[in-house]
Structure 1
């Protein structure tokens, strides 16, 4: 069963429907199958389940209450919804309707879009890359750096449902902040360690010169830090 629900080729109407399929399968032989519920639930993309359904139905399910890992998954999904609501509210205050009608968010596995009060998956990301800096640049989403078995300097642009490579960062890093301003991309701080567990950070700020196609260090922040947030003030 787990191979079925974990498959990228599975065809279901929604993540809510997938949850209900899993629940029905487990309850058909509850005593034997209840031990599999938590491992199956992790394959449901709960971030795509409506918030009301998460609260009123899934959170109230006895099997969810029984397993700590299930409760953690639901709590993480609810936190995602709260953060998305906050980001969307901020975006609505800032954006001009002529300039932008879609809000993007980037998770470890997907680029997701929020438009007209509907959340959907735009595309899947390369498996295994964590802590990429992400920024919306016009109608594209740009991902910078990240970490797998080592720190990365790769920069990719997602636009019109395809990825294109951009020039590599001058300083490979992960957990950085990024912002787009007046046609320029800026990346701030981050970790330059070879793994997520080494405390090696940078204070360097770099920008992409689109004319010559090259990143260059232009400034130095007051302190070295990673996992920072960047905001554009107008």
Structure 2
């Protein structure tokens, strides 16, 4: 009998590399000389072609260098090239903050993916507030996505330190506007943002004067105390020079005097109050609010609060958005006791899902109450107040769950047909920037009409309705990076079924089939029954919020 097996010799690649390195040192079998300014490097074409897309194209296509014994490379450092060639013949390279820029440039010219990835990691590791502006520019210039993203986060999370540096005043107007517009800016006070803008303006006042009104609009003046507005902002010469800026300051004063019922400006990341309560939106006029700290109920009566079954809700910071899926197609926001009507939803849309990604709201799937489930995803632009179609789902979907994570939207489970009782377990991810879909591992259980939350880079799916209308009380979770679904094994104190969930601080609030408001702690895996709820709000949707006496005004 013939026996066959594949045997892998793990040391073989390293030994081959060692032999090639030795041949290069002894100048044996080298077949090309690379000249960089006054230095020459005797190397092997096959090694360079194997490591570098630049050299691979040069030596395998009909370029003239393919037949030459000597090749000249311009605009790179000889010392950097020498280190890169050493890297090609080994598995290591020494990087320092002094040498890395020259090596990065040469690696980019020679198109060496492995080395570019190493440099990307190195620069991301040495990133800090004093160098994040420079490294962001470096990352953008050389298309180092990881470095660019980490630099951006460092700038936003350490804005006060970054704004004190000289490099800050050299930022472009476009990037300055991007920073001032960001919800993720970590500042204790909006006055810090205002002072940074004035500093940036004064650095090149003559050239930048005309752009001040546009940038000043990005300052959230409602978040600046009236005393500071009066003592500093209203007296700033640039503010006094432009009537539109003076008008914005006057509006802020009216807001502080509670004379302005217009749109409330959202706090930035460093100014937000932690959520401590859940609001229960239901088909009644009453908004039921349960404070998880005091364990007390409060009630607000308002016809605008009525949320027909099948509607969906999205929240961010101090604002709550209702997407009413019935004939009214109403889309409105609620903040600090004030309702604002936004642009009507283009079509009747029930059992859809709404999520925020950055500055846009996405309305996903649903049905029209008569025939078919939708397959489109609508996006709403708050500045233009316009709806548009972003793209289509891979299949029609209703009663699913949706989770926002960075630029992505995770669409989980649901029904793929109108009127069907067969749920699915699909997990698909949409990159909202590229409009590209990625298939992720299916959930362990088919689910529809269920709640899902993101907690510490982990997606949780709670209960729902399974195939043939089976009531589910199971919970499963998936780590975003690992893409493996695991069933939660802790005992659940109440039946879940069709439910609504939201994250409240370090807990998850759940309103399910029974007359109980539950809380789940993902850190400890423990459950707690918080309160009974009234029958009239059994089909309510939960939204996390910060609640105190001031919230009611």
Pairwise TM-score range, normalised by the shorter structure: 0.5 to 0.7
Pick the aligned partner of 1:157 from 355, 376, 379: 379
Residue in 1 that maps onto 2:320 = 103
Shift of 1:123: 2.5
CA distance in 2, matches of 1:119, 1:211: 31
**5 Å matches for 1:9-158?**
76-78=283-285, 81-82=287-288, 85=289, 100-108=317-325, 109-148=329-368, 149-158=371-380
* CA offset digits 1:99-134 (Å, max 9, x no partner): 844222322122221122223322321343221111
CA distance in 2, matches of 1:198, 1:217: 23
- Report if the CA contact (8 A) 1:168-1:215 is conserved: no
* CA offset digits 1:79-109 (Å, max 9, x no partner): 5x22xx469x9xxxxxxxxx84422232212
CA distance in 2, matches of 1:147, 1:202: 16
* CA offset digits 1:149-194 (Å, max 9, x no partner): 212110010112111211211122111111111121111111012x
Give the 3-state SS of the residue equivalent to 2:455 in structure 1. Answer: coil
CA distance in 2, matches of 1:140, 1:173: 21
> Which stretch of the first structure deviates more once superposed, 137-146 or 103-112?
103-112
Pick the aligned partner of 2:429 from 182, 207, 220: 207
2:401 equivalent to 1:177 = yes
CA distance in 1, matches of 2:399, 2:427: 13
Change (3 A) 1:103 1:128: closer
- Report if the CA contact (8 A) 1:104-1:114 is conserved: yes
Residue in 2 that maps onto 1:216 = 438
CA distance in 2, matches of 1:164, 1:138: 16
CA distance in 2, matches of 1:209, 1:136: 13
Residue in 1 that maps onto 2:451 = 229
Give the 3-state SS of the residue equivalent to 1:220 in structure 2. Answer: coil
Change (3 A) 1:125 1:210: closer
Shift of 1:212: 4.0
2:413 equivalent to 1:189 = yes
CA distance in 2, matches of 1:145, 1:198: 15
Change (3 A) 1:139 1:224: same
Give the 3-state SS of the residue equivalent to 2:404 in structure 1. Answer: strand
2:420 equivalent to 1:198 = yes
CA distance in 1, matches of 2:446, 2:428: 14
User: Larger C-alpha radius of gyration, 1 or 2?
Assistant: 2
- Report if the CA contact (8 A) 2:353-2:401 is conserved: yes
Shift of 1:78: 3.0
Change (3 A) 1:101 1:76: closer
- Report if the CA contact (8 A) 1:170-1:217 is conserved: no
RMSD over aligned CA atoms reads 2.5
Residue in 2 that maps onto 1:35 = none
Change (3 A) 1:103 1:76: closer
Give the 3-state SS of the residue equivalent to 2:423 in structure 1. Answer: coil
CA distance in 2, matches of 1:86, 1:204: 33
CA distance in 2, matches of 1:208, 1:215: 5
TM-score by length of 2: 0.25
Segments ≥4 residues shifted beyond 3 Å: none
* CA offset digits 1:126-150 (Å, max 9, x no partner): 3432211111222221111111221
Where does structure 1 lack aligned partners over 5 or more consecutive residues? 1-74, 90-98
Aligned length: 145
Shift of 1:211: 5.2
Give the 3-state SS of the residue equivalent to 1:178 in structure 2. Answer: strand
Give the 3-state SS of the residue equivalent to 1:128 in structure 2. Answer: coil
- Report if the CA contact (8 A) 2:345-2:387 is conserved: no
Give the 3-state SS of the residue equivalent to 2:284 in structure 1. Answer: helix
* CA offset digits 1:35-88 (Å, max 9, x no partner): xxxxxxxxxxxxxxxxxxxxxxxxxxxxxxxxxxxxxxxx82235x22xx469x
TM-score by length of 1: 0.55
